[in-house]
């Protein structure tokens, strides 16, 4: 009895851990969508860049935390360059062109990874602080995965506070609601966009660094996780923090418990959910704009 109890708690933690990883990845994606009306298919590639940077940082310094800190910074810088070089100009170019540009970026990033880090998958060690399993209430679970769950909740809390309590948060909310109105009210919309884009990229880089010890590091990792992340955004609704979290939890738990209870249909379940949402709530579950 306690055994089965512990089993389901562990599976619940797996679901939560995967949800948090998806959340870190999709929150940037969804806020950039909502605010800039810009779709960034290269978001997955930025996540992979974060993982590769963290690999190199760990290799050079021997410390996981070097990668943990450096990856978001490096990816934010990459995002900055992309924004100034390409994305700023493409903001009003329509979704088709944005999809194409960022699709081209996926190709470019894939080969950059191959040139600098090779074709062979790489590994990053867990930090010593959270290495291996810990036991509590008769449950044994990966300390590192608990750290990922904690980090996800922490980031959610910080973003929530920023959005609801600070001036920049108010500007972002105003921008998501109505860009032109916000501009008329004297908000420097362009600057807000730039900051949001860089923060979104930094979070993708953070997600990459966090995922690296669990999932290993290889060029295609970004394209593999892109589709679940996009599904999270569509299900959750554009531009909302709540939506990103709700979508992440739904997708994370459906994938995890689907894999445990009904592995044969697990892979299709998420798409069924997506179709349902598109038919009954085409704007997603919690759209930022009604």
Partner 1 sequence: MFEKLKPLSVRATLAACVMAAGVGGVNAGETKVGLLLPYVGVYAALGNEIDAGFTLALEESGMAGDFVIVREDTEVKPPVGLAKARKLVLEDEVDVIVGIVSSGVLGAVRDFVDGAQVPLIVANAGNNDATGSRCSKYVARVSFSNAQINRPMGQWLYDSGVRTAYTMASDYAAGHQTMAAFSEAFIAAGGEIVGAEFTPFGKTKDFGPYLSKASAAKPDAIYVFYAGGEAISFVKQYASLGIKGDIPLYGSGFLTSPLYVAAEGPAAEGVVTGAHYAPTLDIPENNAFKAAFIAKTGKAPSEFAVQGYDAGRVLVEAVKSGASGREAIATAMSKVAYTGPRGALSIDPATNNVVQNIYVYETVAGDNGLTQKLIGQIDNVADAVNGCQF
Partner 2 sequence: MFHQTKLKTFVLLAILVGLIIYTMNGSYFGRELVVEVAILAILAISVDMVSGYGGMVSLCHGAIFGLGAYAYAAVNVLMGGPPALAVVAAIVAAFTFGFAVGAVTSRTRGIFFIMATLAFGQMIYVMIFDSKSLGGDDGMWGLTRLDLSAIGVNLESGVQFAIFSVLCIGLTYVVAALILRSAFGRTFSGIHENEDRMRALGTPVWKFKALAFGLSGSLAGIAGALAAQHTMFVSPELVIWTFSGEVLIVVILGGLGTLVGPVLGAVVMVFLKHEISNITTYWHMIIGILLIITVMAGGRGIYGGLEQYLARRAAKAAPASGAKTDA
Q: Are 44 and 189 in contact (CB under 8 A)?
A: no
Angle at 65 between CA 110 and CA 241, to 5 degrees: 70
What are the tokens at 46? 């930025």
Among partner 1, partner 2, none, partner that 240 touches (CB below 5 to 8 angstroms by kind):
none
Asked if 111 is part of the footprint of partner 2 (rule: CB under 8 A), the reply reads: yes
Asked if 10 is part of the footprint of partner 1 (rule: CB under 8 A), the reply reads: yes
Asked if 259 is part of the footprint of partner 1 (rule: CB under 8 A), the reply reads: yes
Q: Are 208 and 54 in contact (CB under 8 A)?
A: yes
Q: Pattern 187-226, binding to partner 2, x per CB under 8 A?
A: ------------------------------------x---
Strands 139-142 and 133-136: antiparallel
In angstroms, give the least distance from the CB of 7 to partner 1: 5
Among 119, 165, 186, 280, contact with partner 1 (rule: CB under 8 A): 119
Q: Pattern 123-162, binding to partner 2, x per CB under 8 A?
A: ----------------------------------------
DSSP, collapsed to helix, strand or coil, labels residue 170 as helix
Q: How far apart are the C-alpha atoms of 214 and 149, rounded to whole Å?
A: 13
Among partner 1, partner 2, none, partner that 59 touches (CB below 5 to 8 angstroms by kind):
none
In angstroms, give the least distance from the CB of 224 to partner 1: 6
Asked if 120 is part of the footprint of partner 2 (rule: CB under 8 A), the reply reads: no
In angstroms, give the least distance from the CB of 81 to partner 1: 26
In angstroms, give the least distance from the CB of 260 to partner 1: 5
Contact set for partner 1, span 16-75 (CB under 8 A): 17-18
Q: Using H for helix, E for strand and C for coil, what is the string for 27-94?
A: HHHHHHHHHHCCCCCCHHHHHHHHHHHHHHHHHHHCCHHHHHHHHHHHHHHHHHHHHHHHHHHHCCCH
- Cross-strand bridge partners of residue 139: 136
Among 80, 260, 273, 274, contact with partner 1 (rule: CB under 8 A): 260
CB closer to partner 2 out of 45 and 207: 45
Asked if 6 is part of the footprint of partner 2 (rule: CB under 8 A), the reply reads: no
Q: Are 204 and 43 in contact (CB under 8 A)?
A: yes
Q: How far apart are the C-alpha atoms of 141 and 160, rounded to whole Å?
A: 28
CB closer to partner 1 out of 51 and 198: 51
Answer positive or negative: Cα dihedral of 227, 160, 74, 101. positive
Query: In 115-245, at which residue ranges do the beta strands (DSSP E only) sit?
Result: 133-136, 139-142
Given the rule CB under 8 A, which residues bind partner 1?
Answer: 3, 7, 10-11, 14-15, 17-18, 114, 118-123, 125-126, 131-133, 135, 140-145, 213-216, 218, 220-221, 224-225, 228, 256-257, 259-260, 263, 266-267
């Amino acid at each position: 009895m306690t055994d089965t109890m512990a089993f389901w708690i562990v599976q619940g933690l797996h679901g939560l851990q995967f949800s948090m990883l998806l959340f870190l990845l999709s929150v940037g994606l969804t806020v950039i969508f909502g605010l800039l009306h810009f779709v960034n298919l290269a978001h997955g590639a930025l996540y992979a860049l974060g993982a590769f940077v963290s690999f190199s940082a760990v290799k050079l310094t021997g410390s996981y935390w070097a990668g943990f800190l450096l990856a978001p910074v490096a990816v934010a810088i990459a995002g900055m360059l992309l924004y100034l070089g390409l994305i700023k100009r493409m903001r009003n170019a329509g979704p088709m062109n944005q999809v194409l540009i960022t699709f081209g970026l996926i190709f470019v990033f894939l080969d950059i990874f191959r040139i600098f880090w090779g074709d062979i998958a790489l590994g990053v060690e867990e930090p010593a602080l959270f290495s291996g399993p810990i036991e509590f209430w008769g449950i044994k679970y990966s300390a590192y995965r608990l750290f990922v769950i904690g980090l996800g909740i922490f980031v959610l809390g910080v973003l929530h506070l920023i959005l609801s309590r600070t001036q920049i948060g108010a500007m972002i909310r105003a921008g998501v609601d109505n860009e032109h109105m916000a501009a008329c009210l004297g908000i420097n919309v362009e600057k807000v966009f730039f900051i949001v884009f860089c923060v979104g990229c930094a979070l993708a880089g953070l997600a990459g660094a966090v995922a690296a010890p669990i999932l290993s590091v290889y060029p295609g990792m970004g394209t593999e996780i892109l589709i679940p992340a996009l599904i999270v955004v569509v299900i959750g609704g554009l531009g909302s923090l709540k939506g990103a979290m709700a979508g992440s939890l739904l997708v994370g738990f459906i994938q995890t418990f689907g894999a445990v209870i009904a592995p044969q249909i697990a892979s299709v379940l998420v798409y069924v959910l997506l179709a349902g949402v598109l038919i009954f709530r085409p704007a997603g579950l919690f759209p930022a704009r009604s």
